Structure 1
Amino acid sequence: MHIVWNVFLNIFYTCMDIKGKTKDNMKARQDLELCCKCPKLRIQFVNEKQVKPPASYVLSKDQAMEVCEWVKGLRLPDGYASNISKCVNLYDYKFYGLKSHGCHVFMLRLFPIAFREVLPIAVWDALTELSYYFRDLCNTTLHVQNMEVLEKNIMVTLCKLEKIFPPAFFDSMEHLPVHLAYEAKVGDPVQYRWMYLVERLMHDLKHKVKNRASIEGSIIEAYIIEEISTFCSYYFEPSIQTRLNQVLRNDDEGECDLVDRLPIFTHQGRPFGRPFGRHLTTQEYNAAELSKL
């Protein structure tokens, strides 16, 4: 999980050209004169000032604005990820407070969509292959044959990235994806080995701390009270709302006909956003009926 996080941030900050965090800085451009033959990317002097020529993997200001506005209007399913749109600041078109799981979802699912229209095809293809590589590794069911194929393909993908990004972009973190396919083949699926479960537990334990003078005692006291209250709730009347029968946060307690519906639409709840309504056209109604069948 930390490999995906760091790889995503390096790619994202470099493509968005965020000052102070991008790997495409002046020192990286100076290394090109020693390591690579890229005359178009070498530092130029304009009015006695050093200027970086625009690279193919760096978005312009208008393109960065387009990506930020797309993420700002993004709506994800409940429980799938945090609200990534809150991390976007449209004033300076930057991201703030993006957590590790948000980076994980963005890298695996949103990155190929967000940068599809703003990056060149060659750059987008290499980054999309890297995104699919991490997505295949995070599947709940893994096959040895597929892991062997991924183990070979990731080497080709990293070679494509070396043709695009400067040498300073690659450090030990960009090398670690080579070993992930072998680890997945030898060990279990990554869902049983990553740190998200531990981080969620640490988040709950931190909220139990009320007395910072005795942190361990405060956590133990809150944990015991929670266990006692859960045990006592087994003897309450069913009409009394407890942790065992509490209503889901999206349930509006309204009557809803769940017969003849797809499984993904069987959850009760209220619509998200401003209320609106209109009648479907004949073409839309036929398409909905065909997809239902």
Structure 2
Amino acid sequence: MTNNVFNFFLNIKGIGAFFRDLSTRTLKEEVVEQLQENIPILLCNLEKIFPPGFFDVMEHLAVHLPYEALLRGPVHYGWMYQYERAMKYLKGKAKNLAKVEGSIIAGSLTEEVSHFTSYYFASKVRTRRRAPRRYDDGGVAPTYAVAGVPDIFSQIGRLGGKSKEVWWSSEQDAHSAHTYILLNCEDPLIRYFER
């Protein structure tokens, strides 16, 4: 039983290594030839472990993948993911579902025309190409001044994440944190220590 489990994990590991090596960005011809020799042995070992009902045509297609990689080059050039993503983007432009192709063309033309004409707008006109970055404050942090409040507390902003109740394990920890904040403010805060 232990030997069968070991063989099972060894074969699954071999199949994983096969697909990992086949999917690398750079392929060497000798590596692909080695993969081509090893995959039938791995599949035969899996056929010894699993019942015949487990196997159909798809499991045996892995035998042809190294040969296709030799003909084509790296596998990622043959994948359809990039084209499927592009088609999803284009189908999102379709407003008239009765005439999808024409609607995609019209949406693409509208986007291209609006992009290229934005080069000729005045520099003060905000376009998608000239929009400031999401968190760009222009180098000046907005503040508000309140009399008697230290500068460290005058920054405008909002907290990120979910609100949490702050608790201290002891009153000494809370006092230490409060003292640290007051000592590291830019303004002299001696009057706060007198309280």
Name the TM tier (shorter chain).
0.5 to 0.7
Higher relative contact order (CA 8 A, sep 6+): 1
Alignment of 1:1-293 (within 5 A): 120-236=5-121, 237=123, 240-243=126-129, 247=133, 252-253=135-136
- Corresponding residue for residue 288 of structure 1: none
Q: In structure 2, do the counterparts of structure 1 residues 162 and 253 end up closer, same or farther at CA, with 3 Å as the change threshold?
A: farther
Structure exhibiting the larger radius of gyration computed from Cα positions? 2
Give runs of ≥4 in structure 1 deviating > 2 Å.
120-125, 233-241, 243-247, 251-255, 272-276
Consecutive unaligned residues of structure 1, counting only runs of 5 or more, are: 1-55, 57-119, 256-271, 277-293
Residue type at the aligned position of 1:137: L
Give the CA deviation at 1:242: 1.2
Residue by residue over 1:196-239, the C-alpha shift from the partner in whole angstroms, topping out at 9 and shown as x without a partner, is 12211211121011111221221111010011111023234388
Distance 2:45 2:124 in 1: 61
Identity %: 45
Residue type at the aligned position of 1:172: V
Output the aligned Cα RMSD.
Answer: 3.0
Residue type at the aligned position of 1:157: L
Distance 1:139 1:192 in 2: 11
Q: Is the 8 A contact 1:233 1:244 kept in 2?
A: no
Number of equivalenced pairs: 139
Residue by residue over 1:48-87, the C-alpha shift from the partner in whole angstroms, topping out at 9 and shown as x without a partner, is xxxxxxxx9xxxxxxxxxxxxxxxxxxxxxxxxxxxxxxx
Query: SS at 1:176's partner residue?
Result: helix
Q: Is the 8 A contact 1:154 1:177 kept in 2?
A: yes
- Corresponding residue for residue 73 of structure 1: none
Distance 1:160 1:222 in 2: 53
Query: SS at 1:184's partner residue?
Result: helix
In the superposition, the TM-score normalised over structure 2's length comes to 0.61
Q: In structure 2, do the counterparts of structure 1 residues 172 and 273 end up closer, same or farther at CA, with 3 Å as the change threshold?
A: farther
Consecutive unaligned residues of structure 2, counting only runs of 5 or more, are: 139-159, 165-195
Distance 1:190 1:143 in 2: 12
Q: Greater helix share, 1 or 2?
A: 2
Distance 1:191 1:177 in 2: 15
Q: In structure 2, do the counterparts of structure 1 residues 213 and 172 end up closer, same or farther at CA, with 3 Å as the change threshold?
A: same
In the superposition, the TM-score normalised over structure 1's length comes to 0.42
Q: In structure 2, do the counterparts of structure 1 residues 253 and 131 end up closer, same or farther at CA, with 3 Å as the change threshold?
A: farther
Q: In structure 2, do the counterparts of structure 1 residues 246 and 228 end up closer, same or farther at CA, with 3 Å as the change threshold?
A: farther
Distance 2:161 2:8 in 1: 36
Give the CA deviation at 1:146: 0.5
Distance 1:172 1:207 in 2: 35
Distance 2:16 2:78 in 1: 20
